[in-house]
């Protein structure tokens, strides 16, 4: 895919970035010569990467703390959606495919009008014709990841299902290495392993306290569903990172919503008909569905920013803290008793995320190798290295003018 933000003037990025009708802002260097956007980005990237950085420099940036904060918000959203799912199950309403369709409906209602506004109907139809099949694949991977993970929890125990989540991290690392040309540094590998160690402590705590959910109905069948769901998640995470690095976020989420409704709707019609008829319907169930939908919509809206500023790998290891937040909420809501290993595990996961970014570039993971050295193929949007470079170039030119005066 190409991006028409690479014009001869700077463009103002709308929310989450756009290659739509941005207002051109012409910038000149201190000699009065006009500078193209591509030249300015190239200069900005050189300026950022030429900075005298220490092994801990990225940890002092705002970006690092934003990534950590977003990761915890995403974990809380996952915890909230799981909590509402538990409430629905306790109320006698277990309709996994049907209850998720409302999330895709809300994504469509929010982001499709934005896409039509910025692109216009004709451009939107051209995108459907050219890239619709890619967005369909992304939506299919996302829907099936959700569906098979829910099935895994039906048949196997919680401990086994959570252990299988590690497979999603393995898939992301392998797919990023081969398809996105990501090359992991030693500190990044160490950080991932430390995070997995923290998750291991959480699982050990669950096992010691007997919170692993028992033997399971059909462990082998559940484990196979879990592996399949984690694989779908791994593919969808990597594919979405590739998409949001090249396209506006509102466009990606709008198509994810539109195709998600179609795919999820078909699955719900086939597999949830009996559950729907036997489900309990009252005001409380309606409230749980609203809470579940809002939590998931916030989650889906923040994931692209995480994938731009960080990566699919950082996103997955950040979500490992969801178990910790689940227990904290469970103490108040379900009467859980916290084990001493939980706080240790949480700190270990955060420490692993910190180690991941040691001795890296000041740009962190926001500079994507598949976009070219100067991020030429990338969208100019919030969280991208391209926008950071452009802003750095502007500041550099302004500083040179001030110095000359």
3-state secondary structure 99-166: HHHHHHHHHHHHHHHHHHHHHHHHHHHHHHHHHHHHHHHHHHHHHHHHHHHHHHHHHCCHHHHHHHCH
Specify the higher pLDDT residue, 75 or 360: 75
pLDDT in tens, 264-274: 999 988 888 88
| Ramachandran angles phi, psi of 369, nearest 5° | -65, -25
The whole-number pLDDT of residue 256 equals 96
Which residue, 357, 291, 287, 280, is CA-closest to 318? Answer: 357
* Average pLDDT of every residue of the chain: 81
Specify the higher pLDDT residue, 51 or 290: 290
The whole-number pLDDT of residue 308 equals 95
The whole-number pLDDT of residue 45 equals 87
Whether the predicted pLDDT of 23 surpasses 70: no
Q: Angle 341-356/322-333 helices, nearest 10 degrees?
A: 150
The whole-number pLDDT of residue 248 equals 95
Specify the higher pLDDT residue, 23 or 108: 108
The whole-number pLDDT of residue 18 equals 46
Tally of CB atoms within 10 A around 362: 19
> In angstroms, rounded to a whole number, what is the distance separating the alpha carbons of residues 369 and 176?
10
- Residues whose CB falls within 8 Å of the CB of residue 106, separated by 6 or more in sequence, listed in order: 257, 293, 294, 297
State the average pLDDT over residues 109-126: 95
Whether the predicted pLDDT of 301 surpasses 60: yes
> In angstroms, rounded to a whole number, what is the distance separating the alpha carbons of residues 144 and 359?
37
The whole-number pLDDT of residue 3 equals 43
Whether the predicted pLDDT of 401 surpasses 70: no
Tally of CB atoms within 10 A around 36: 15
> In angstroms, rounded to a whole number, what is the distance separating the alpha carbons of residues 100 and 179?
30
Q: What is the pTM of this model?
A: 0.85
Whether the predicted pLDDT of 130 surpasses 90: yes
Whether the predicted pLDDT of 396 surpasses 50: yes
43 phi-psi bin (left φ>0, alpha ψ -120 to 50, beta other): alpha
Whether the predicted pLDDT of 22 surpasses 70: no
The whole-number pLDDT of residue 294 equals 95
Specify the higher pLDDT residue, 264 or 89: 264
Calculate what percentage of the chain has a pLDDT beyond 70.
Answer: 80
The whole-number pLDDT of residue 108 equals 97
**Total length of the chain:** 405
The whole-number pLDDT of residue 128 equals 95
Whether the predicted pLDDT of 124 surpasses 70: yes
Whether the predicted pLDDT of 278 surpasses 60: yes
The whole-number pLDDT of residue 149 equals 79
The whole-number pLDDT of residue 11 equals 38
The whole-number pLDDT of residue 1 equals 41
Whether the predicted pLDDT of 160 surpasses 50: yes
Calculate what percentage of the chain has a pLDDT beyond 90.
Answer: 34
Report residue 14's pLDDT band, with 50, 70 and 90 as the boundaries.
low
- Tell me which of 226-235, 242-251, 317-326 is least confident: 317-326
The whole-number pLDDT of residue 80 equals 87
pLDDT in tens, 210-226: 554 555 556 677 778 87
The whole-number pLDDT of residue 373 equals 83
The top-scoring range by mean pLDDT among 30-44, 202-216, 233-247 is 233-247
pLDDT in tens, 37-79: 788 888 888 888 777 677 778 888 899 999 999 999 999 998 8
Specify the higher pLDDT residue, 150 or 186: 186
């Amino acid at each position: 895919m190409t991006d028409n933000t690479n014009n001869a003037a700077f463009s103002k990025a709308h929310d989450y970035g756009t290659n739509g009708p941005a207002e051109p802002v012409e910038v000149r260097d201190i000699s009065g010569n006009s500078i193209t956007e591509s030249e300015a980005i190239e200069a900005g990237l050189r300026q950022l990467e030429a900075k005298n950085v220490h092994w801990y420099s990225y940890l002092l940036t705002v970006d690092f703390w934003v990534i950590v904060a977003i990761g915890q918000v995403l974990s809380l959203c996952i915890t909230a959606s799981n909590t509402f799912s538990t409430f629905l199950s306790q109320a006698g309403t277990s309709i996994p495919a049907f209850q998720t369709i409302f999330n895709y409906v809300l994504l469509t209602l929010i982001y499709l009008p934005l896409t039509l506004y910025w692109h216009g109907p004709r451009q939107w139809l051209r995108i459907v014709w050219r890239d619709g099949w890619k967005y369909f694949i992304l939506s299919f991977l996302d829907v099936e990841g959700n569906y098979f993970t829910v099935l895994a929890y039906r048949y196997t125990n919680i401990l086994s299902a959570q252990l299988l989540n590690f497979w999603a991290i393995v898939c992301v690392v392998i797919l990023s290495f081969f398809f996105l040309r990501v090359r992991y540094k030693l500190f990044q590998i160490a950080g991932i392993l430390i995070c997995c160690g923290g998750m291991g402590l959480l699982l050990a705590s669950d096992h010691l306290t007997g919170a692993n959910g028992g033997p399971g109905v059909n462990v082998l069948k559940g484990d196979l569903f879990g592996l399949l769901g984690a694989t779908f998640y791994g593919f969808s995470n990597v594919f979405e990172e590739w998409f949001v690095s090249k396209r506006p976020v509102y466009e990606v989420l709008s198509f994810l919503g539109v195709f998600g409704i179609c795919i999820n709707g078909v699955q719900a019609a086939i597999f949830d008909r009996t559950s729907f008829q036997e489900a309990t319907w009252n005001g409380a169930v309606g409230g749980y569905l609203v809470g579940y939908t809002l939590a998931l919509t916030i989650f889906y809206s923040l994931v692209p920013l995480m994938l731009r500023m960080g990566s699919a790998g950082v996103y997955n290891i950040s979500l490992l803290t969801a178990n910790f937040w689940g227990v904290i909420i469970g103490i108040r809501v379900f009467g859980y008793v916290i084990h001493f290993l939980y706080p240790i595990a949480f700190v270990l996961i955060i420490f692993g995320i910190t180690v991941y970014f040691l001795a890296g570039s000041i740009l962190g993971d926001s500079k994507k190798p598949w976009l070219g050295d100067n991020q030429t193929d990338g969208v100019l949007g919030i969280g991208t290295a391209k926008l950071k470079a452009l802003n750095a170039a502007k500041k550099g030119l302004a500083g040179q003018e001030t110095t000359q005066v």
